[in-house]
Amino acid sequence: MSGQAQSPGGVSTGLTVWYKANLSVSGTTPITAWNTSGGSAAGFNLTPTSAATSPNLIAGSTNYKRYNYNPRIDFTASSFTRLQNTGTSPDLYGTTGSLFMVTDQNSGVGQGTALTYSSNTSTQRLQFKPSFRIQTSTGVNGYTGDWSAPSEYAITSASLLSVTGLGATAVHRRNSVSFGCSNCNLPLYNPAVTTGLRVGRNASGGGSEYVDCDMGEIIIYNSALSAAEVARVESYLALKYGITRGGNSGTGASYNYVNSSGATIWDKTANAGYNNDIAGIGRDDGSALVQRQSISVNNNESVSIGLVSIDASNTANTNNFTSNNSFVMWGNNGAAQNTVFNDPACFTNMPSGVQAKILRNWKAQVTNFSQTVTIAFETSSIVAYTPLTNLRLLVDNDGSNWSNATVISGAVLDGTRVEFAGVTLSAASPYFTLGTANFQSTPLPIEMLFFTAAPEGSGGVQLTWATASETDNDRFEVQRSVDGVEFGTIGQLDGSGSSSTRNDYAFFDGSAYPGTSYYRLVQVDADGTFEYSEVRAVTLGKERSVTVYPNPARDVVRIAGLENGSGAAAVEVFNESGGRVPFPMDALEHGMLNVGTLARGIYLVRIGEQVARVVKE
């Protein structure tokens, strides 16, 4: 790293604080401080109120796809974890500043607050809720921007939230996409926050709206940034955390990736057709960026690329870029990557010795880079990867006629990845894909035509899927999850063995969770090997949540907002398997719910149209 001055995207004017989970954290379990690593407000560090409420640091090797091999700070609502600095001077934001944050929605339940800031509660307030909202105000009225659930990535994966300005002038963005003011100039949406910078909760009224989320980075400016400067900051964060600027549908030039000098390193126009699931590696001294390996956080992307090698985390990869402003960016064409090789399109224009390839192709844009890379494919996203001796990486000049492609063998299995080392990507040969030297001895279990999940009747979910062919398919196991991470089997259907004709399947979940549930299939072969399908999300009713405390609980939980109510409210309780637990319908009295009779475990409590997740100790 050179002696060049460093700031996010090289944008230094107005920078007040810069918090990075990969650099400026004291302690790990627990964290004792999240320190500034740049900006004019040096020493404006964030600290816990006590050791008991301090969050932990999660290493970049843990669930590495969620934050692109980078570490993050883990905030948990049940433990009331938070960090804060109550200082009101200097003013970190002003009234025309910008705030950028890389965060997620960890549990999938609740609408907790990840960040609040105000230097003066009567004139300046900001509030970020990772699950759905950015909220600001300059007085008694609030200006709120809301967004819907993501479609390209899981709620537990990193996303980029940012806002510029306050109140009526505020511009809200998620993954670089602007979204309008949903609730404008209304007193109800004036953020009720305490002065200072607080993360992990909304500190108003002694503490409320604790959040389940992780955070990778927070950046604040106290001056207005131009559109070009915003693009530089967001490009830096998007590259570092594997986030696709603009999403897969945002193909305009405003979503290009640029370096700290403003030069384009991923051109959405020049790379038309390959703007899906963008990721990159690179060194940019102006941003203090050294991202040695990357994978897109998007759901259906399998490719990691690493400088020379791929290691457990970005920090563990100790290889060095030979030049500053050196980048390899890539995206894919959106085609299937787990396609059965009996599709005729897989057999056309193959190089000598290669019989077939998958339909998905990738394209790289290489800037000032001449080193070798390792390209890896997640085994969970591809089929037919054994025996490894049959696999071939194809690197091509045009991505359409692969007959002259460079053919690379020597695939190795490294944990959950199939890797090819010593690969050269260049402007002359930027395309690559995965092929096989013998598709007949690389058996593929099924060719899935479709898999859908949709609400059906009162409180049920109907799953349907079909296959075009099957090979030694023993069964399908149906799995469900409340958070999209931890899945449990709720049923199974017999497969059709070996078949070359279409087979249709259907499964009805009559005890589905209220709110949002996640479904996937596990296809199991006769020899016990298995593959996962893509995940489908289904929402039953209005997904509204309610805050409960304490949580975890032993005897009684209280429902926020109902403490002063009178009478009883109707309650339904569901266990982790989605089964309704016998419980008095009028069990909620004066905002208190007695859970003392429940066995230890995780429960979903539905009160009218609101849902809470309760951990019973």
238 in a domain, yes or no?
A: no
**Over the stretch 468-512, which tens digit does the pLDDT of each residue have?**
777 788 899 999 887 666 778 999 999 988 877 788 999 999 888
**Over the stretch 97-109, which tens digit does the pLDDT of each residue have?**
999 999 998 765 5
Could you give the number of structural domains in the chain? 4
- pLDDT higher at 523 or 468: 523
Return all residues near 62 (Cβ < 8 A) that are at least 6 apart: none
237 in a domain, yes or no?
A: no
Per the CB < 8 A criterion, the answer to whether 471 and 445 are in contact is: yes
DSSP H stretches of helix in 418-474: none
pLDDT of residue 229: 98
- pLDDT higher at 365 or 604: 365
Confidence of residue 349 (pLDDT cuts 50, 70, 90): confident
DSSP state of 398: S
| Residue 269 scores a pLDDT above 80 | yes
pLDDT of residue 439: 67
CATH number of domain containing 557: 2.60.40
Within this chain, do residues 392 and 496 fall inside the same structural domain, yes or no?
A: no
Q: 402: helix, coil or strand?
A: helix
Within this chain, do residues 312 and 255 fall inside the same structural domain, yes or no?
A: yes
Report how far apart the first and last C-alpha atoms of the chain are (Å, whole number): 49
Within this chain, do residues 132 and 270 fall inside the same structural domain, yes or no?
A: no
Distances from the Cα of 227 to the Cα of 94, 164, 232, angstroms: 18, 10, 9
d(CA 97, CA 225): 7
Confidence of residue 567 (pLDDT cuts 50, 70, 90): very low
Return all residues near 252 (Cβ < 8 A) that are at least 6 apart: 246, 268
Domain boundary residue, one of 416, 440, 464: 440
**Over the stretch 323-339, which tens digit does the pLDDT of each residue have?**
999 999 999 999 988 76
* Partners of residue 373 on adjacent β-strands: 307, 423
pLDDT of residue 441: 47
Within this chain, do residues 555 and 517 fall inside the same structural domain, yes or no?
A: no
- pLDDT higher at 356 or 493: 493
Distances from the Cα of 21 to the Cα of 37, 251, 435, angstroms: 10, 30, 38
**Over the stretch 424-459, which tens digit does the pLDDT of each residue have?**
999 999 999 999 887 654 434 577 778 888 888 777
Q: Note the residue count of the chain.
A: 617
- pLDDT higher at 1 or 231: 231
234 in a domain, yes or no?
A: no
Within this chain, do residues 280 and 334 fall inside the same structural domain, yes or no?
A: yes
Within this chain, do residues 181 and 316 fall inside the same structural domain, yes or no?
A: no
Per the CB < 8 A criterion, the answer to whether 473 and 500 are in contact is: no
Per the CB < 8 A criterion, the answer to whether 80 and 207 are in contact is: yes
pLDDT of residue 286: 96
Q: How many CB atoms lie within 10 A of CB 217?
A: 27
pLDDT of residue 19: 97
Within this chain, do residues 293 and 433 fall inside the same structural domain, yes or no?
A: yes
Q: Which of 147-161, 282-296, 427-441, 542-556 has the weakest average pLDDT?
A: 542-556
Give me the phi and psi of 511, to 5 degrees please.
-125, 45
pLDDT of residue 317: 97
Q: Could you tell me the pTM of the whole model?
A: 0.73
pLDDT of residue 252: 95
CATH number of domain containing 127: 2.60.120
* Partners of residue 461 on adjacent β-strands: 455, 509
Paired tokens of 146: 């809301």
Residue % of the chain over a pLDDT of 90: 56
- C-alpha gyration radius of the chain: 25
Within this chain, do residues 351 and 376 fall inside the same structural domain, yes or no?
A: yes
d(CA 508, CA 461): 6
241 in a domain, yes or no?
A: no
Distances from the Cα of 516 to the Cα of 107, 460, 480, 510, angstroms: 12, 12, 11, 15
Q: Which of 357-366, 387-396, 555-564 has the weakest average pLDDT?
A: 555-564
Average pLDDT over the chain reads 87
1 in a domain, yes or no?
A: no
Within this chain, do residues 414 and 362 fall inside the same structural domain, yes or no?
A: yes
pLDDT of residue 470: 79
Per the CB < 8 A criterion, the answer to whether 75 and 82 are in contact is: yes
Per the CB < 8 A criterion, the answer to whether 35 and 85 are in contact is: no
d(CA 605, CA 551): 12
Per the CB < 8 A criterion, the answer to whether 64 and 313 are in contact is: yes
User: What is the arithmetic mean of pLDDT over 46-74?
Assistant: 95
User: What is the arithmetic mean of pLDDT over 257-279?
Assistant: 97
Paired tokens of 542: 């209005």
Within this chain, do residues 108 and 176 fall inside the same structural domain, yes or no?
A: yes
User: What range does the domain containing 466 cover?
Assistant: 446-540
pLDDT of residue 443: 38
Within this chain, do residues 333 and 356 fall inside the same structural domain, yes or no?
A: yes
* Partners of residue 497 on adjacent β-strands: 473
Confidence of residue 121 (pLDDT cuts 50, 70, 90): confident
d(CA 106, CA 211): 8
12 in a domain, yes or no?
A: yes
244 in a domain, yes or no?
A: no
Distances from the Cα of 225 to the Cα of 42, 97, 128, 242, 479, angstroms: 21, 7, 19, 23, 46
d(CA 301, CA 334): 9
395 in a domain, yes or no?
A: yes
pLDDT of residue 107: 67
CATH number of domain containing 521: 2.60.40.10
DSSP H stretches of helix in 3-105: none
**In this structure, what is the dihedral angle of CA atoms 489, 494, 499, 505, given to the nearest 10 degrees?**
-70
Within this chain, do residues 455 and 432 fall inside the same structural domain, yes or no?
A: no
Query: Amino acid identity, residue 267?
Result: D
Residue % of the chain over a pLDDT of 70: 89
pLDDT of residue 341: 62
